[in-house]
Structure 1
Amino acid sequence: MSGTTTPSLDAQSPAKQASSRNLKRAAASGWIGSALEYYDFTLYSQAAALVFPTIFFPTASPAVAIIASLATYGVGYVARPIGAIVLGNMADRRGRKHVLVIAMMMMGLATLAVGLLPTYSQVGVLAPIMLVVLRLVQGFAVAGELGASNALIAETAPDAKRGFFASFSVQGSQIGSILAIALLLPLASFLPDEAFQSWGWRIPFLLSAVVIIAGYLIRRHIEEPAAYLKQSAQAREFKTPAVELFRRYPRLLMICVISTLANVIGTATLVFGITYGKQESYGIGFTTSDFLWIILIVNSASALTIPLFGRLSDIFGRKALMVTGALGGGLMSIPYLFAVQEKNFALVLIFGLLAMSVFFQMWNASFATAYQEQFPTRLRVTGFAVSQNVGLMLAAFAPAVFTIMAPPGADNIPMVIGFTTLAIAVVAAGAALCLRNGAGKSFEE
């Protein structure tokens, strides 16, 4: 009897080793790829608040310049639903790895081009037009990144630890943000303001050339997960997965879109909050380096909490963390904005950590896996990408809307924007309660 048992055990060992290798490669690919892509995306979001109002949108009205610059930040999100449909369809029909390479290459080229753009003073209105076009390319590309990379990891990971392993792609986005701020911070701190506004801000954008090379080297050896390969033939039968998605799962899509509005916590604190504290027209007086330090510390702390909350979502379920995170993050935005108004660096940092590194990351570390668990394999990336990116598109325009609601000179800005953020977060938390709990369950169940 031992003669039949031993070969069976020996035969399982190489398979287990191969599975472990595939999981490590998938997690590493998702982590590194997300880091590189969100390095690019973060550069733009910070430059939109710190630099672009003066060099691309000069105007007699500071409020108009701020709104225009923040609107271009939001424009990138307009392209994301289109990218979600195109790249999501490709990922579901042709495989996850193809989309991951294409998305990274597009993002790298677009960001590199931003660093080479002439300013408004050099070419006039052509400068902001080119900026908007490149922002649209960025948005299109990044729409396919998190959905495909998270699906790759989630479909490879063991069911009991799916949330933990899938959180690495989300953590990678934080690392990318940290790298972007780590490059911007010394430039903004040590260069004269005129030099930083003229050429210093371009350096991190030009370094995106590394993404173009790394995109191919990192992802060319990725293997498609077994869960996808089992249904790949069926997936190819649907030439337009997005059509099937809208026809069969409209209610689920709407729930995920509304839940994604929890991202308004981040846009209220780390986009509008920066504009509110730093722009001269608001009269508060924070410096560029002040906020870059705050963002760097908050993102560093978030990189540590994301895997923790990902693991906790495997134990307690995704919904518990998503609801708690949305409500807590929305609530913390109120004292955060009051701290900005009082120009209290320590309190801004404390409430920023609570809002973004603790509560929001409860939601952020859980949502990607939760959404992946809602859709069948043949529609998984499309379902995730469309619902996430439509919600993000809506949340991305919040800073521009907030500036219209509370322009320079307005009264009670922390109350108006803080309670608006809380109200949206409550709606997002309610939507999260409607999601199916897939923690610990097989994708086939």
Structure 2
Amino acid sequence: MDLQHPPIPELPSASLAGTPTKAPVSPQQLRRAILTGAVGSALEYYDFAIFGLASALVFSHIFFPALGAKAGLLASFGTYGAGFLARPFGGLFFGSIGDRKGRKFVLLVTIAIMGTSTMLIGLLPSGTIGAVSLVVLRLVQGFGAGAEQAGASTLMAEVAPVKQRGFFAALPFVGIFAGLGLATGTFSIMQHVLGEQAILDWAWRIPFVSSVVLIGVAVWIRLRLRESPTFLSLEGAQAVIKSPMKTVITHARRPVLAATLMRFAEQGGSTIYTTVVIAFLGGTVAAKLGMKPSALSSIGTTGALIASMASVITTPMFGALSDRIGRIAVYRGGAIFMLLWSVPSWYMVSTGKPLWVDIAMFGGLALGANSMLGAQCAHFSELFGNRYRYSGVALARELGAVLSGGLAPLLGIYLIGLSDGAFWVMGVYMAVLSAITLIGVSLSTETRRRDLTLLDDAVH
């Protein structure tokens, strides 16, 4: 495909030299864009977090009891991974629409798909029919989520003040930890107030059905959102292309590869420190210490809640730091920290002591994974040219998600079982994910303050 297109008028806020700090939209629209992304991210991660927690604590008993404890847990996390498997297809489908029809339309559709799927999971019957339906709804949920974060980060990067793009692009992702905190907080309260049996009998449905409230809020906010001025400039110059995803695959392989590999430690680490740790505590550590699984699982959910709440501060903080010292410097630093933290943190978890578990999860999530996420929010949007930015970000994000986050719990539980519960195995696994991310960083380039109206990618 010919890559030459008519020149696109530059936005004043996007020039590389003497760039003003004023956003290309009004303060009201900037706030609305932040809120739109935050609520969407909250719903997405609320969806995925309650599913991950239910996979660790409930689903093996409800849907897979005939398989036994270990095989049932593997089946539960296999279902969890199915959502990640569907995400690249959702990214491919909706990313292309976002580059052809605009960001707002896609963000409305994806939020409705995700939320409805989550609510219906809470209404499923137990047994075989419920298990099959669970897989189907999980696939639909993942399909809708495939373009949600890509759309939120792309939109926010395009409307943010250029010199503060890293900070503003990271703000909507505070919703990730609000959603994660809400999910883990809900399960933690149910564990303490209702007890394990009530959760297994009926209470596990509450977090899923109640997601309808988040759906309504998200749709209402997004209906009032305006389209990205960067996309409108592309549309006004008649430079919108018919097959943006095809163009990404044929002409943007280097940035897609770099961004995909850069997700391994961030997405993999986020998933591992919020799901696998809890399952490890409730299974291996509980058996080793002779304690009730529910007591150890409760320690894990509390640790995840603390780390999630801390991430509300650390993620935009690292985004702001990337505005000052560069995206690559922050991302590389986060990957190196995660590499060094991997084995020690899993030793802390293996002790089963609340303080050590809290420290391990805080370091792994709030500092390690989310230092990378803080820089990533702006960096991925800056890597791709204007004609297929949404498609490129969606494809790279979701390929990285399925290869790291989707496989992390399934492979993690398998490795723990294979090694008879040895803590260091998961530490080594996390270190490998960090090393892969460092390779991705080496393939990327610094993009701070890049002009988002440019048609070319940052790396070729």
Q: TM-score when scaled to structure 2?
A: 0.88
1:97 positional shift: 0.6
The separation in 1 between residues aligned to 2:48 and 2:449, in whole angstroms, is 33
Matches within 5 A, 1:40-439: 40-120=47-127, 125-232=128-235, 237-262=240-265, 263-279=267-283, 283-284=287-288, 285=291, 286-395=295-404, 396-407=406-417, 410-411=419-420, 413-439=422-448
Cα gap change, 1:341/1:278 in structure 2, threshold over 3 Å: closer, same or farther?
A: same
Structure 1 equivalent of residue 37 of structure 2: 30
Offset from partner CA, 1:281-329 (integer Å, 9 cap, x none):
9614443322221111010001111111110011111111111112212
CA deviation after TM superposition for structure 1 residue 37, in Å: 2.5
Worse-superposed segment, 368-377 or 336-345: 336-345
Give the counterpart letter for 2:229 in structure 1: A
How far is 1:333 from its partner? Answer: 2.7
Cα–Cα, structure 1 residues 222 and 277, in superposed 2: closer, same or farther, change >3 Å? same
Following superposition, the deviation at residue 58 of structure 1 comes to 1.1
What letter matches 1:371 in structure 2?
A: F
Whether contact under 8 Å (2:49, 2:183) holds in the other structure is yes
Distance 1:384 1:60 in 2: 39
Counterpart Cα distance in 1 of 2:23 and 2:269: 41
Distance in 2, matches of 1:70 and 1:363, equals 25
TM-superposition CA deviations, 1:392-435 (whole Å, max 9, x none): 10112122112222207x34622122112102211212211321
Cα shift readout 1:62-93 (whole Å, capped 9, x = no counterpart): 22111111111110001100000111011111
> Contact 1:328–1:360 at 8 Å: present in 2 too?
no
Q: Contact 2:244–2:391 at 8 Å: present in 1 too?
A: yes
**Count of aligned residue pairs for this structure pair:** 426
Judged with a 3 Å threshold, the aligned counterparts in structure 2 of structure 1 residues 17 and 66 are, in CA distance, closer, same or farther, namely closer
Letter in 2 for 1:377: N
Indicate conservation of the 8 Å contact 1:35/1:177, yes or no: yes
Distance 2:400 2:283 in 1: 28
Kindly provide the CA deviation profile for residues 229-256 of structure 1, in whole angstroms up to 9, marking residues without a partner as x: 0102567752221111000011221121
Q: Describe the superposition over 1:133-191 as per-residue Cα deviations: whole angstroms up to 9, x where unpaired.
A: 01011101111111111111110111101010000121111111111122222112111
Q: Which amino acid aligns with 1:435?
A: S
Assess if the C-alpha contact under 8 Å between 1:63 and 1:281 holds in 2. Answer: no
Distance 1:153 1:237, change over 3 A: closer
Q: 1:93, 1:236 within 8 Å by CA — same for their partners in 2?
A: no
Structure 2 CA distance for partners of 1:388 and 1:111, relative to 1, 3 Å:
same
Deviation at 1:17, TM superposition (A): 10
Over the residues paired in the alignment, what is the CA RMSD in angstroms? 1.9
Instruction: Note the residue ranges of structure 2 that are not aligned, 5 or more in a row.
Output: 1-21, 455-460
Identity %: 31
**Paired amino acid for 1:88:** G
**1:44-67 Cα deviation digits (max 9, x unpaired):** 111111111111111353221111
